[in-house]
């Protein structure tokens, strides 16, 4: 009986040893080179798709963020000019990259053009976004403007009106886009009413 039990124990031990060796053998084998190359290729394709998607999403987000920043700054400049009686001037630099608007406050109150101005704030275009064009009209209709370069000034006055000089009342329209300008879904327009100076943002040209 004891001999029979010993044989059974030995057989069980041998079975366990064989199973352990098989497991070790599988672990030692690992992945083959073709399998690793296939995994790397799949990861690379998925990464390229993700990057392209994020780039397009970034264009739309940056264009929208720039347009909203401009609208908020205009509303703030209008409100401050009416409240404290000091004219505000938007000096905007338009370019395919690094476009911006610097907001100045008149150093003397009133409707007359002041002798000097003080810098109050600044709005910078984000990456992949630009101020495409600025006109001295209130463009409430659909349009396809050509890109503008150089500088443009818009004045927000204490009586609420807006003009392209300190003495005119013309209104204004700001066109915002991604730097390419070809994707209509990234087009934004802020048009400013001439008499009230209220800016309105729409997501089209």
- Mean model confidence pLDDT for the chain: 83
* DSSP assignment letter at 114: P
82-122 residue pLDDT tens: 999 999 999 999 988 889 999 999 999 999 999 999 999 99
Q: What is the pTM of this model?
A: 0.71
Is residue 134 within 8 Å of residue 174, measured between CB atoms?
yes
- Whole-number Å distance between alpha carbons of 155 and 77: 9
- The torsion region of residue 71 among left (phi > 0), alpha (psi -120 to 50) and beta comes to alpha
Given this model, what pLDDT does residue 6 score? 57
Confidence of residue 7 (pLDDT cuts 50, 70, 90): low
């Amino acid at each position: 009986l004891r001999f029979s039990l010993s044989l059974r124990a030995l057989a069980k031990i041998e079975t366990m040893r064989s199973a352990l060796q098989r497991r070790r053998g599988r672990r030692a084998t690992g992945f083959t080179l073709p399998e690793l190359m296939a995994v790397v290729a799949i990861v690379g394709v998925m990464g390229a798709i993700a990057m392209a998607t994020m780039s397009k999403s970034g264009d739309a987000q940056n264009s929208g963020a720039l347009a909203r920043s401009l609208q908020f700054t205009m509303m703030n400049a209008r409100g401050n000019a009416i409240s404290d009686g000091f004219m505000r001037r938007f000096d905007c630099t338009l370019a395919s990259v690094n476009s911006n608007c610097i907001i100045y406050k008149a150093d003397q109150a009133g409707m007359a053009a002041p002798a000097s101005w003080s810098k109050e704030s600044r709005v910078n275009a984000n990456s992949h976004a630009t101020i495409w064009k600025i006109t001295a009209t209130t463009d409430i209709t659909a349009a396809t403007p050509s890109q503008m370069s150089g500088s443009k000034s818009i004045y927000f006055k204490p009586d609420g009106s807006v003009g392209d000089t300190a003495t005119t009342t013309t209104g204004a329209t700001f066109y915002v886009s991604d730097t390419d300008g070809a994707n209509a879904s990234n087009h934004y327009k802020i048009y400013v009413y001439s008499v009230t100076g209220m800016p309105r943002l729409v997501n089209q040209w």
